[in-house]
A and B are shown apart, each in its own frame.
Chain A
Amino acid sequence: MTKKELMHLIRNRRVFAVTLFMPVLLMTIVGLAFTGEVKHITTVIVDRDNGPLSHKFIDALKVTDTLRIRYYADDEPQAEALVRDGLAKVVIVIPATFETDVKSSNGVVYVMVDGSDPVSAGTVAPVVQGIALSFTPNLKVQVNRLVLYNPSLRYIDFIAPAIVGIFLQIFPMLLISMAIAGERERGTIEQLIATPVSGFEILFGKLIVYMGFGFLSATTMLIVAVYAFNLVVRGSVLLIALFLAVFLTASLSLGTLVSAGSRTQIQAVQTIMPVIYVMIFLSGTFYPIEAMSPIVQPISYVLPLTYMIHALRSIIVKGAGLEVVTSDFIFLSVYTIIMLVLAVIVFRKKL
């Protein structure tokens, strides 16, 4: 009996691949992505003092690889704009009286972190505090933490947009591919292909149904987040809907592509699972992409879910408008069009 089961497993190459490849894949991804500490958080410096001591302090900040100082801004509003646009996560403000304050033992450095990403935000303050302490060991230095957008650093604000993104990536894709593979498995596709209805019509019939389903679940999730967990949607609901529509189309098209290679529902599910794992772990859902190993970062930047989650977080938590999420929108639109065209090509009427 054991031998028979083993032979089933070896002969079904798909299951075999999944059984062997998945654990390896999963462990590799988790190992690479969760390196234990957050690194290379893009930082803006506002140096109002601009004296020798403040320059020394900035040099000290450069030593840590938690921060990556990429921008220097003239004032706080300019720095905040960079954060709002998603270009930076942390603002460090050195006041004009920095040098004199330090000398009179009451120096202050202000750190403002992007509250929509609590993992980064939580890491930065202690690191800056540590640097400041070793910078002036005989002087008391206070680090005040100012938080943009998300004063309470609530995890729900960080995670809710991501969960919506993930759900819309997984379930519509899973369902449509199972529906298509199911038609093939049950033989109904043969009866359907025998009619004059075109493949295009069959596909679009399904796309529309599952699109509706996706909208319904996204709305439900946001309603729950808003009413049960006090999520505040700051941005435009219409803009959210626009992103949902584009992203859902992409997700459903991908599901169609997967189903084209599957004769049964089980095969379809087996194909989808590895894709899902990669997407969830590398899309910056639970962990900032900046903190991931440089080896997996390029993967993150080609995943549509990455852009979707970034856009949703920007719109929902920061109240960003289309001008802020334009690059996300362009990437998602191009990806969606490619996927849709491929899906239509692949889903021809054939047995």
Chain B
Amino acid sequence: MNRNVVQTSALTKRFGSLIAVDHMDLSVKAGEIFGFLGPNGAGKTTTVRILCSLMAPTSGNALVVGYDVVKESEKVKQRIGYMPQAYGLYDDLTVEENLDFFGSVYRVPHDERRKRAAEILQLVRLKEFRNHFAGQLSGGMKRRLSLAVSLIHNPELLILDEPTAGIDPPLRRIFWEYFRQLNKLGVTFFINTHYMDEAELCDRLALINYGRLVAVSTPTELKKKAIGGEQVELVTADLSKTGSILKSSALVREFSVSDGGIQLIVDEAASAIPKLTSLLKEHGVDVLRIRQLQPSLEDVFIKLVQKDSEKSRP
């Protein structure tokens, strides 16, 4: 199970003078939920289309489930499930007919197709709607059907391009329940997203900007990298005295004083908090409140993208 399901090297896609994907080296391990995070226009969809063998890269190569996306595209397609960003099912077919049609083009044998369709409809809770025309479904149901279609041939890798874009938070939570259930069964996920709360749920995240890979790590590690440590919020009775004490402390890497309190960055919050509390007490400063702050992934994202943009500036 410890092989890479996706492995790209120097993957590049140009559209005229625009470089949508720029020398990207990605590896996704079997069994993980891999998040692909980036601002609009960063090249997420293009990358996904190359991985799904819908588009040929300009240069570089990509192995998906062990096959080359250019030379062995049919093998790649047979083994992965793809849910495009835009809903692309046939409105004039029913839920069941859509599943059956896509099952047939994936060459799933007829009996297995029926069995599989029933299971998936159960999972995405569309069983009661199986005879409804796809065009009559609500937006959320269409998305669930779209997910169902991408699962019909029992793929080992699911590539989802913003699967929860434009759907409400409760349904998003339900989608993530499906993802986890499927993940437990061994399905690897590659998910494009720009929702931070969603990115937080991924095992590992790749952050991309202007088609380049900015960082790849777990959400926690990414935060550390962006902030340069962990964030601690401190409120004391005497803020200015506290400031001068902190300045001389080796524990504190950086701090800023604002109206309500002091925000500081330390290497490790868990060990720094008791040490700082006793240090301040020694100097006669009462600590009213001290706690670790969880930076939002949004801040992390913005920081990392900013750093990256500065770096690339000539």
Contact = CB atoms under 8 A, between A and B. Distances in A.
B86 interface: yes
Interface stretch (A146-154, A181-189, A292-300): A181-189
Nearest to A201: B105
Interface in B44-69: 49, 52-55
The size bracket of the interface on B is 20 to 34
A6 to B, nearest CB: 29
Nearest to B80: A194
Contacts of A197: 105
A195 interface: yes
Contact of B88 (A190, A196, A198, A350): A190
Contact of B90 (A188, A195, A350, A351): A188
B112 interface: no
A197 B74 CA distance: 8
A188 B75 CA distance: 21
B82 A196 contact: no
Most chain B CB inside 10 Å of its own CB: which residue of A190, A194, A195, A197:
A194
B84 interface: yes
21 contacts: A187-B84, A188-B90, A189-B88, A191-B82, A191-B102, A191-B146, A191-B149, A192-B88, A192-B105, A194-B52, A194-B54, A194-B82, A195-B77, A196-B77, A196-B78, A196-B105, A196-B107, A197-B105, A350-B54, A351-B49, A351-B54
Given A196-B77, A351-B55, A190 B106 contact: no
A192 B86 CA distance: 13
Closest A-B pairs by Cβ, 4 of them: A187-B88, A191-B88, A187-B86, A194-B82
Interface in B85-105: 86-91, 102, 105
Interface of A: 186-198, 350-351
A79 B149 CA distance: 68
A48 B107 CA distance: 75
Contacts of A188: 88-90
A350 B149 CA distance: 20
B106 A196 contact: yes
A193 B107 contact: no
B87 A187 contact: yes
Contacts of B105: 192, 195-197
A188 B84 CA distance: 9
Contact of A195 (B87, B91, B102): B102
Contacts of B149: 191
A31 to B, nearest CB: 43
Contacts of A195: 77, 102, 105-106
